[in-house]
Amino acid sequence: MSFSLRRIIAITRKNLQTLLHDKRTLGLLIMMPILMMFLFGFAFGQPVRHVPIKIVNLDEGGEGIPFLGINDTKFSEIFIESLEADDRVDVKLLNLDTFNLSKETSKIYGGNDYYALIVIPINFTEDMVNISIHIQIPIYIDGSDPQTIGSVIAAISETIGKVMNEISGEESHIALDYIYVAGSPDLRPIDSLGPGILSFALFLFMILTVTGGFTKERLTGTLYRVKVTSTSKWEVMLGYLLGNSLIALVQSVLLLVISIFFFQIHIVGNILLLFFVLFIYAMSCVGLGILASTFAQNELQAFQFIPLLLIPSMFFSGFIFPINAFPVIFQYISYILPMTYSIRISRAIMINGFGIDMFFMDFLVMLLLTFLFMLLAVLAFKTKKK
């Protein structure tokens, strides 16, 4: 076999010319590496910021440290001001007149309200100046997202240490008592990532299956032949939606069986409720895949849409990186991603054993996104006569 350099160069030139004329592919080749580097840079290079926490200050104050010129003060206020200056957390002070511990702790869930509640004890100021007295500060936390709560714990620990060193130079008589309202300190990485892995796997399977398959049937005329039988667009879409969602449900069973029996993944909630949520989530993924495929002129273009759907979902849904690690403008993207809500709900069921009342709004948004994607797909849907 003889090789011709001229023929090799000709084929190379032909491939490059084809690429240069395909503006969409060329744009993806240029923009995707840039986007990936920026996203990884934000995710790994920045701490988790602006995590919502609450503080109830029961401290009644004291005489302070007169010989240092600190009189009639509340050391708790110094601690609160220092914590408010830390951009890793967003502090909200609770009103003492309306404070109810059991009511507030029921809200400590990251997808629901906030991540931690700090209860500063009544004699905090008086006990601060007496190192012989052991001060215990109860902190109720949501531990279902280890990366996020890890940032909160670091902010609280560093702040209390800083305040103690400034006041007395001694912090050994203060103990931070972390009480897990949700999650557990014993969670393994696979347990905390499990809901995200499950949601991501279903998203990947559905997008790959639906985007290519729907585009092929639309362009080869299969859907046109169905449509001429007086079948409406909505019937076509709903048929695709239910069929692929049922396939996703079977995939969910397989994924959970492997997770439970091979990796002993942490599941404490109602597994039937989890399957129902995943079925609705799969419908939203199918709807999104159909919507993307309606804009493709060929199967290659359909598959080019996949990274545009996959990468934002992987980064901005809270699957691998906490949403709070990104700038605010990127955090808004998470609100339109079905995976964001699937991960929140799956985490609530699998890790915390919560019922639907704890994530009803997330569930409702996921339903609305499913309907929105299907509506847009119906409006954009065009069949090709073959």
Nearest to 188 by CA among 201, 178, 197: 197
Nearest to 359 by CA among 371, 340, 344, 370: 344
Residues 235 and 366: their CA atoms lie apart, in Å, by 21
Q: Which segment of 48-52, 181-185, 223-227, 295-299 scores lowest on mean pLDDT?
A: 223-227
| Per-residue pLDDT at 36 | 67
Average pLDDT over residues 126-150: 81
Amino acid code (one letter) for 127: D
| Per-residue pLDDT at 240 | 74
Paired tokens of 139: 């902190």
pLDDT digits (tens, 9 = 90+) for 85-96: 988 898 999 988
Residues 139 and 120: their CA atoms lie apart, in Å, by 9
Check whether 139 has a pLDDT greater than 90.
Answer: yes
- How many residues in the chain? 386
Nearest to 32 by CA among 235, 290, 315: 315
Check whether 39 has a pLDDT greater than 70.
Answer: no
Amino acid code (one letter) for 172: S
pLDDT digits (tens, 9 = 90+) for 218-265: 667 666 565 556 667 777 777 777 877 788 788 888 888 888 888 888
Amino acid code (one letter) for 206: M
CA 37 to chain centre: 20
CA dihedral for 260, 263, 269, 275, sign (positive or negative): negative
Residues 160 and 47: their CA atoms lie apart, in Å, by 19
pTM assigned to the model:
0.75
Q: Identify the H or E element spanning 326.
A: none
Torsional class of 349: left (φ above 0), alpha (ψ -120 to 50), beta (otherwise): alpha
pLDDT digits (tens, 9 = 90+) for 276-291: 898 889 888 888 888 8
Q: Which domains does the chain possess?
A: 1-45 (no CATH), 51-183 (3.40.1710.10), 188-380 (no CATH)
- Sheet of 89-93, strand order: 89-93, 51-57, 116-120, 135-143, 174-183
| Per-residue pLDDT at 316 | 84
